[in-house]
Chain A
């Protein structure tokens, strides 16, 4: 069985599990988003290993480092955005009377 077939099978299993998790009532509801996040990250890992051929071999060091750098940049952008937007939300919310005025338009 080829490496792409294994990857496809794993991706299909993870996707099917995600659909089941999102639609079932058997699981504890508040934990479902976390479970979906875990399944999604697992599938991203499957794609990286089986489709983009990221390995631990010495000839792959550059690719792993480039991936790590990309993940770092994405983390900084996402975390920084959330940080700034939380701050704006806390400090720049207009007072209630202004909000009502706005709603009347």
Chain B
């Protein structure tokens, strides 16, 4: 997209596009790291109470991220492709 001239400076839509998708991507990256950490904890420590609580927190974060993506995708891509 950048190579085709669609840079954040081009328009308000593209500024918002890169900010929103970029921030979401950072959160997903952090979530993936968290996911690997939780997998390691389950493998090493097993399902003890503290690990289950952390898993619950991670599930909350991950599904909330998913809900935000539904809205983001609708606004940025589905509505963005309309003329």
Binding site for B on A (CB under 8 A): 18-19, 21-23, 29, 32-33, 36-37, 39-40, 43-44, 47-48, 51-52
Contacts and interface: CB of A to CB of B under 8 A. Distances in A.
A16 B66 CA distance: 16
Contacts of A23: 81
A36 B63 contact: no
A48 B67 contact: yes
B36 interface: no
- Dominant secondary structure at the B interface: helix
Contacts of A48: 67
B79 A47 contact: no
Nearest to A50: B63
Interface stretch (B26-34, B41-49, B70-78): B70-78
B60 interface: yes
B78 A36 contact: yes
B70 A43 contact: yes
A22 B83 CA distance: 11
Contacts of A44: 67, 70-71
Contacts of A21: 78
